[in-house]
């Protein structure tokens, strides 16, 4: 990007709806963690993948195993959560929904309850310190513009999924609106979503919003049909939903009829090789249909990106004008799990900033 373009994408107000906490840890924060734990012999190249590199999905998940060794205590979680929020704010993100699977580590005393409490404490501290997502143009919103989705890792099976849903429900009721939903993620090649349907239905019944990784790999048409019947409130990736890549017209019809937004992560998909190249990304298929698409980072630390870069990539690859980019960013507000009054405040913020930035 030239300097003028870089400034535009950085100043562009943005909404981030698909950001895994541990995958979003920057190299600078990783350096701090590695210095704290030199006995692990972890080097920077083990926790991030450069943009020009390509990895299999399995290799990508191996990177997360390394990161989990570095982030295994409440102290670590507080450090990385605050740093991630600060970095998104510095990148022009005005509303952020983080997601993470609560973990327990016996050696450090970390429990799933403490895990979630610590993420919420990081959000609270960022708000208190004035480094939560920029509130200067929000017309006096007193609530924090960071939200949290508790994640179910599909690899752990239905019993753990149900326990996680119970945790998410408890925190939804006591977090003052910070915990808003449930994420379904983890290695998409493991298990079948049908075993998780009772847990997901329970989450939906108790008022949690559902953001489900769906059709992330080929040959998941049956699972996708089942999960779309819930239906989810947002779709993560949706890479193989449409018929041109092995999906089906019936899947597309379900998504379109229910107007389910799709979280799009360009760099993540290309590096992880579920999409062959940027110009072959399924963003174009859905964007051309006028379907709600939200650009996201997925794992900005692991994939060496940020949301400004993702918008620039989409614009240069698919020939989007500055006005197109602005509209794409603003459309994301309606896809958030925020209550209506906050959506209205965000719309007002975008309108104010448009006069300053988009000239």
pLDDT tens figures, 245-277: 888 999 999 999 999 999 999 999 999 999 999
DSSP strand pairing (93-100 vs 262-264): unpaired
Say if 355 falls within a structural domain. Answer: no
Strand order across the 234-237 sheet: 14-20, 93-100, 146-153, 179-185, 209-214, 234-237, 262-264, 293-295
35: tokens are 């210095």
pTM of the predicted model as reported, rounded to 2 decimal places: 0.94
What integer pLDDT is reported at residue 131 of this predicted model?
Answer: 65
Does residue 226 come out as left (phi exceeding 0), alpha (psi in the -120 to 50 range) or beta? alpha
Say if 286 falls within a structural domain. Answer: yes
Q: Which percentage of the chain shows pLDDT scores above 90?
A: 82
Say if 307 falls within a structural domain. Answer: yes
Say if 197 falls within a structural domain. Answer: yes
What integer pLDDT is reported at residue 72 of this predicted model?
Answer: 96
Spatial neighbors of 344 by CB under 8 A, at least 6 apart, are none
Handedness of CA 175, 86, 73, 154 (dihedral sign): positive
CA distances from 228 to 36, 42, 103, 199, 237 (A): 44, 40, 28, 15, 14
The residue among 297, 306, 312 whose CA lies nearest residue 87 is 306
129 confidence band (pLDDT: 50, 70, 90): confident
Q: What is the CATH number of the domain that holds 147?
A: 3.20.20.140
Least confident of 211-215, 219-223, 237-241, 346-350: 219-223
Say if 297 falls within a structural domain. Answer: yes
Does the pLDDT of residue 133 top 80, yes or no?
no
First to last CA, the chain: 19
Look up the domain containing 342 and give its range: 3-349
Angle, in degrees to the nearest 10, between helices 307-318 and 322-331:
130
Say if 354 falls within a structural domain. Answer: no
Instruction: Write out the E strands in 204-264.
Output: 209-214, 234-237, 262-264
- Average pLDDT of the chain, as a whole number: 92
What integer pLDDT is reported at residue 132 of this predicted model?
Answer: 52
What integer pLDDT is reported at residue 142 of this predicted model?
Answer: 34
What integer pLDDT is reported at residue 115 of this predicted model?
Answer: 98
Say if 358 falls within a structural domain. Answer: no
Which H or E run includes 148? strand 146-153
Quote the number of domains for the chain.
Answer: 1
* Contact criterion met (CB below 8 Å) for 132 and 144: yes
What positions carry a catalytic annotation? 216
Average pLDDT over residues 141-159: 83
143 confidence band (pLDDT: 50, 70, 90): very low
Say if 357 falls within a structural domain. Answer: no
């Amino acid at each position: 990007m030239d300097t003028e373009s870089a400034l535009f994408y950085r100043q562009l107000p943005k909404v981030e709806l698909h950001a895994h906490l541990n995958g979003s840890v920057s190299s600078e924060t990783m350096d701090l963690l590695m210095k704290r734990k030199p006995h692990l012999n972890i080097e920077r190249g083990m926790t991030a993948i450069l943009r020009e590199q390509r990895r299999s999905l399995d290799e990508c998940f191996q990177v997360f195993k390394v990161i989990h060794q570095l982030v295994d205590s409440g102290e670590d979680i507080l450090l990385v959560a605050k740093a991630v929020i600060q970095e998104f704010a510095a990148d022009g993100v005005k509303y952020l929904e983080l997601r993470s699977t609560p973990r327990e580590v016996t050696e450090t005393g970390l429990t799933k309850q403490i895990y979630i409490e610590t993420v919420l404490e990081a959000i609270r501290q960022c708000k208190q310190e004035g480094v939560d997502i920029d509130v200067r143009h929000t017309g006096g919103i007193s609530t924090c513009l960071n939200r949290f989705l508790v994640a179910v890792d599909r690899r752990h099976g239905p019993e753990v999924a149900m326990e996680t849903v119970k945790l998410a429900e408890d925190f939804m009721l006591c977090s003052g609106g910070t915990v808003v939903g449930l994420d379904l993620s983890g290695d998409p090649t493991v298990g079948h979503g049908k075993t998780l349907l009772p847990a997901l239905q329970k989450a939906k019944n108790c008022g949690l919003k559902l953001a489900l990784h769906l059709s992330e790999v080929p040959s998941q048409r049956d699972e996708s049909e089942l999960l779309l019947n819930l239906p989810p409130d947002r779709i993560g990736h949706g890479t193989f939903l449409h018929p041109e890549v092995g999906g089906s017209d019936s899947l597309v019809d379900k998504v379109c009829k229910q107007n389910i937004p799709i979280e799009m992560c360009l760099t993540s998909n290309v590096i992880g090789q579920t999409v062959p190249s940027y110009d072959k990304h399924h963003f174009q298929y859905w964007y051309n249909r006028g379907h709600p698409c939200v650009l996201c980072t997925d794992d900005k630390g692991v994939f060496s990106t940020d949301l400004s870069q993702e918008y620039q990539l989409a614009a240069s690859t698919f020939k989007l004008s500055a006005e197109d980019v602005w509209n794409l960013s603003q459309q994301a507000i309606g896809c958030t799990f925020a209550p209506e009054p906050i959506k209205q405040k965000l719309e007002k913020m975008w309108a104010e900033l448009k006069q300053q930035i988009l000239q």
